[in-house]
């Protein structure tokens, strides 16, 4: 019976086959991929995108010719890692303004590297205005987010300048109008044949803005809370990245995740333990200096940003009583059942655990993204490392966590922000607030007027 089935002639009408073939050809001709299979399409893009973990200066390349590829990569990564750490220390010594400017520069470069992948599509298909629109939306987003920061931290001063008061009052409306201009520009640039591709790239741009611009805004906010909230988390990610590489290089045997085949359990665990220890030590040292723990505020008296304050209880040693279950052991060892430490160390422990366990997933996400487009790196700026985004993929995730952590467990109302809200009230509302506050202070005995 099976043989009969096999020998049965195909009853499909030849004319129907011809029509189907013609229809398929027509469909291929009208397709948005210009008759290119998906694999060829992605490979073509990967050739256009600049990438270069293996790209090194000629002098260094010739000096390391005798080494195997594995050790050559180790040396190159090591050299440029220490150079980046040195640059980071230099920026810290210059001050918060240098760190904020650097954050903006890194943000722009990361955005460029992500958009370059989309721009590869633009150059293949000749889609109109994609690059210009992407940069326009970047400028608009930065105007909104950095304007919000200026309103929060410098609103009291800006409000006293007549021509700037309008920008403060209508900041969000102006930002919205700028976005609408970009939205209309995009709609007018749509081309019939490439609707799907253009809407995909529109979404691409907005995801890039969400990943890069929003996170850099949160980094700026963390800096204003005190340099310690910026330096410690950033250093934890750096430590975790370096130590995971070291432990993985020497002891790595067990693969960790398919997305990143070179990552190992040995590197993941070793990097995590090293990060927790490093985070506690670094936090203990930095808690002793006002330069790192004081929030950054604008002083109207001095006319500039200042970092002078009386450290909050978070950065002053506190005595903690240990659990009674440990009292017997402590007595045998001749130790007290109390422990004196900076409360910030407990928060540092939370951040170090996050940077060790969750932080690497930012790198895994980036690895998946690169594999989707068959590229090794986002760029070729840093020899041995790749692009800027390759180094900051975990930093953005960490910045969001720190900002959420501060607002949830640390943050208190800022007098500057409250004053900004008061200045935005109408004169009669300000008077009402003044008399209410005055009466409350008198009743509590804080204000005594003779």
Statement: residue 130 has pLDDT above 60: yes
Report the range of poorest mean pLDDT among 20-24, 142-146, 257-261, 346-350. 20-24
Beta bridge partners of 382: 386
The alpha helices in 189-324, defined as continuous H runs, are 195-224, 228-251, 265-286, 290-293
pLDDT of residue 350: 94
What average pLDDT does the segment 191-204 reach?
A: 87
pLDDT > 60? residue 10? no
Q: Summarize the confidence of residues 400-410 as an average pLDDT.
A: 92
Q: Is 340 helix (H, G, I), strand (E, B) or coil?
A: strand
Nearest to 84 by CA among 418, 388, 407: 388
DSSP string, 326-338: GHHHHHHTT--SE
More confident residue, 394 or 121: 394
- pLDDT exceeds cutoff 50 at 270: yes
Which of 41-50, 54-63, 137-146, 282-291 shows the lowest per-residue confidence on average (mean pLDDT)? 41-50
pLDDT digits (tens, 9 = 90+) for 221-247: 999 899 999 999 999 999 999 999 999
Per the CB < 8 A criterion, the answer to whether 60 and 383 are in contact is: yes
Q: Mind listing the pLDDT tens digit for each residue in 20-55?
A: 444 444 433 334 444 455 566 556 655 666 555 556
Question: Which helix (H) or strand (E) is 442 found in, with range?
Answer: helix 427-443
Instruction: Judge whether residue 12 has pLDDT over 60.
Output: no
Between 24 and 85, the higher pLDDT residue: 85
Burial code (b: 16+ CB inside 10 Å, e: under 16) for 154-187 equals bbbbbbeeeeeeeebeebeebbeebbeebeeebe
Radius of gyration of the chain (CA): 29
Residue 75 and residue 214: Cα distance in Å, rounded? 35
SS3 content of the chain, % helix, strand, coil (to 5): 70, 5, 25
Residue 322 has pLDDT above 50, yes or no: yes
- Quote the mean pLDDT of the chain: 81
Residue 74 CB-density burial (10 A; 0-12 exposed, 13-18 middle, 19+ buried): middle
Structure token pair of residue 426 = 């109408």
Residues 289/361, Cβ–Cβ less than 8 Å: no
Inform me whether the pLDDT recorded for 208 exceeds 50.
Answer: yes
- Return the top range by mean pLDDT from 1-10, 20-29, 388-397: 388-397
Residues 329/336, Cβ–Cβ less than 8 Å: no
How large a percentage of the chain has pLDDT more than 70?
Answer: 79
The confidence score (pLDDT) of residue 163 equals: 67
């Amino acid at each position: 019976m099976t043989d009969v089935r096999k020998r049965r002639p195909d009853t499909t009408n030849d004319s129907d086959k011809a029509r189907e073939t013609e229809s398929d050809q027509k469909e291929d001709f009208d397709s948005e991929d210009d008759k290119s299979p998906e694999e060829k399409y992605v490979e073509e893009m990967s050739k256009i995108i600049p990438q270069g973990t293996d790209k090194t200066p000629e002098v260094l390349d010739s000096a390391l010719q005798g080494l195997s590829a594995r050790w050559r990569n180790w040396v190159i990564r090591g050299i440029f890692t220490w150079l980046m750490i040195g640059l980071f220390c230099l920026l810290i010594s210059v001050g918060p303004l240098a760190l904020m400017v650097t954050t903006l520069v890194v943000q722009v470069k990361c955005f460029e590297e992500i958009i370059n992948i989309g721009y590869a599509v633009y150059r293949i298909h000749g889609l109109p205005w994609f690059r210009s629109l992407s940069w326009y939306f970047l400028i608009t987003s930065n105007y909104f987010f950095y304007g919000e920061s200026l309103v929060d931290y410098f609103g009291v001063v800006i409000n006293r300048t007549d021509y700037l008061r309008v920008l403060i009052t209508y900041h969000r409306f102006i930002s919205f109008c700028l976005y609408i201009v970009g939205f209309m520009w995009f709609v007018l640039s749509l081309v019939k044949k490439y609707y799907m591709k253009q809407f995909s790239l529109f979404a691409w741009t907005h995801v890039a803005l969400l990943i890069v611009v929003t996170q850099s805004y949160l980094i700026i906010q963390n800096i204003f809370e005190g340099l310690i909230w910026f330096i410690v988390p950033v250093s934890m990610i750096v430590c975790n990245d370096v130590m995971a590489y070291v432990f993985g290089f020497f002891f790595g045997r067990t693969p960790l995740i398919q997305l990143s085949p070179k990552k190992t359990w040995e590197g993941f665990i070793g990097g995590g333990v090293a990060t927790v220890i490093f985070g506690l030590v670094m936090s203990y040292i930095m808690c002793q200096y006002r330069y790192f723990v004081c929030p950054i505020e604008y002083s109207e008296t001095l006319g500039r940003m200042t970092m002078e304050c009386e450290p909050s209880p978070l950065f002053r040693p506190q005595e903690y009583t240990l659990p009674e279950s440990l009292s017997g052991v402590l007595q045998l060892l001749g130790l007290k059942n109390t422990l004196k430490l900076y409360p910030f160390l407990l928060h540092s422990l939370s951040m170090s655990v996050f940077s060790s366990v969750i932080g690497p997933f930012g790198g895994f996400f980036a690895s998946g993204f690169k594999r989707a487009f068959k590229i090794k790196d986002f760029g070729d700026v840093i020899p041995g490392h790749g692009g800027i985004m390759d180094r900051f993929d975990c930093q953005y995730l960490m910045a969001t966590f720190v900002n959420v952590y501060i607002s949830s467990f640390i943050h208190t109302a800022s007098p500057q922000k409250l004053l900004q809200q008061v200045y935005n009230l109408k004169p009669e509302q300000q008077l009402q607030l003044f008399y209410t506050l005055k009466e409350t202070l008198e009743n509590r005995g804080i204000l005594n007027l003779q």
